[in-house]
């Protein structure tokens, strides 16, 4: 299981959003690029960088230039032009959310399934989407149709869990992995060793950890040693 530090950027600063709420933001003292260098020095083999406003391009570029590890980038990536821009910058993988569904197939056809991760944000088992629907869109229903686009990887985050450190939504992760061929990354709620134990046991591809590293709830060198395989 990959251990991937997460760097969330808002107004040029490193932040954590409680349950994904922009009005409940914890801001940390170091700049995003400084945390990136720190995590790599501590042994991180890849980073997850989220531009929450989609206008921190220069900071994302600074991180790319400052570290020599693969970077997964997310944050309102909804056009092929933006995808191209990030790959030309040197970003290694990108995350396309539910709103970017119209470009899934095109992005995968151009750049390959190993470079495109589909991000599923949810509350419980319900996908968060900007599109009005007569009935809720269930996580597993959405996940089951992704292989038809050529998708190999998903990133699941339960927004009710984000920055709570109480543990991720294991049920939906397990359901995705049992009922689809998708390889699954998880973000949101990871704050204790026991959370990583469960995620590794169920076969999670990678665990993205933010707040627990900033607040020293988890020791990055230790968990990399014990959980990466």
Flag whether the pTM goes above 0.75: yes
| DSSP state letter for 102 | G
Domain that holds residue 55: 2-227
Q: How far is CA 207 from CA 120, 177, 210, in A?
A: 15, 14, 10
- pLDDT in 10s for each residue of the chain, 229 residues: 999 999 999 999 999 988 877 778 899 999 999 999 999 999 999 999 999 987 888 999 999 999 999 999 999 999 999 999 999 999 999 999 999 999 999 999 999 999 999 999 999 999 998 767 777 899 999 999 999 999 999 999 999 999 999 999 999 999 999 999 999 999 999 999 999 999 999 999 999 999 999 999 999 999 999 999 6
DSSP 187: E
How many structural domains does the chain have? 1
Pairing mode, strands 47-51 and 25-27: unpaired
Following DSSP, what letter does each residue of 107-163 receive, concatenated? HHHHH-GGGEEEEEEEETTEE--SS--SS--BHHHHHHHGGGGT--EEEEEETTTTT
CATH, residue 43: 3.20.20.70
Question: How far is it, in rounded angstroms, from Cα 65 to Cα 214?
Answer: 22
């Amino acid at each position: 299981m990959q251990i991937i530090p997460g760097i969330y950027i808002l107004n040029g600063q490193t932040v954590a959003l409680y349950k994904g709420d922009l009005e409940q933001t914890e801001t940390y003292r170091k700049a995003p690029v400084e945390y990136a260098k720190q995590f790599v020095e501590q042994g991180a083999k890849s980073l997850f960088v989220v531009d929450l406003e989609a206008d921190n391009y220069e900071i994302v570029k600074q991180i790319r230039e400052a570290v020599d590890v693969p970077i997964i980038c997310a944050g309102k990536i909804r056009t092929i032009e933006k995808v191209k821009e990030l790959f030309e910058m040197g970003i290694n993988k990108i995350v396309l959310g539910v709103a970017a569904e119209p470009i899934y197939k095109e992005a995968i056809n151009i750049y390959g399934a190993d470079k495109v991760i589909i991000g599923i944000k949810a509350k419980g088992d319900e996908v968060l989407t900007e599109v009005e629907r007569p009935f809720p869109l269930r996580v597993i229903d959405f996940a089951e149709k992704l292989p038809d686009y050529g998708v190999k990887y998903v990133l699941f985050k339960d927004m009710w869990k984000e920055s709570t450190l109480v543990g991720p939504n294991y049920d939906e992760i397990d359901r995705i992995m049992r009922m689809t061929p998708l390889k699954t990354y998880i973000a949101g709620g990871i704050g204790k060793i026991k959370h990583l134990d469960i995620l590794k046991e169920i076969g999670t591809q990678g665990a993205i950890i933010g707040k627990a590293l900033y607040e020293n709830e988890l020791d990055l060198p230790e968990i990399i040693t014990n959980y990466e395989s």
